[in-house]
Amino acid sequence: GLVKRHANYVACATDNYLEIYRKRKIIGPYIGFFLLGGGEISVILAFFVCLNQNNIPWLAVILSFIASLGGGLVVYLTFFTLLFGHYAPVSNPIRFNRKTGKVYLYEA
């Protein structure tokens, strides 16, 4: 049969409002951080290998240095997204106000 997910459930129901919890899925930043972090380590290693060679053109050294800076920025932004998602509230509830007919979405 079908497996019912408990990601959305009624948290509170009164005469004034109905609140439904929504759970976020934040697996993407975790995967991205570790994949991009591994790639960044490889680029930094390639930069130091380029510096250690005798007959390598300086353009390769400069390009590997710029790639390591750009990769570091991408990894930093991914890490910031990961931490923001990890420490945000677990639920982003939806609240339906029955008297006014308004819907409130809470986003971290």
Q: Do residues 13 and 47 both lie within one domain?
A: no
Residues 99, 71 within the same domain:
no
**Domain identity same for 20 and 33:** no
**Pair (82, 96) in one structural domain:** no
Residues 46 and 95 in one domain: no
Residue 93 backbone zone (phi > 0: left; psi -120 to 50: alpha; other: beta): beta
pTM score? 0.56
Please state the domain count of the chain.
2
Q: Which residue has the tokens 């990890």?
A: 86
Do 40 and 59 fall within a single domain? yes
Cα separation, 41 vs 72, in Å, equals 9
Q: Could you report the per-residue pLDDT of 87-100, keeping only the tens digit for each?
A: 776 677 888 888 88
104 φ/ψ angles, rounded to the nearest 5 degrees? -115, 125
**Co-location of 107 and 96 in the same domain:** yes
Hey, is 88 helix, strand or coil? Answer: coil
Do residues 75 and 94 both lie within one domain?
no
The residue segments making up the domain with residue 13 are: 1-24+90-108
Structure-token match 């109905």, residue found: 18
Q: Per-residue pLDDT tens for 44-87?
A: 888 888 888 888 888 888 888 898 899 889 888 888 888 877 77
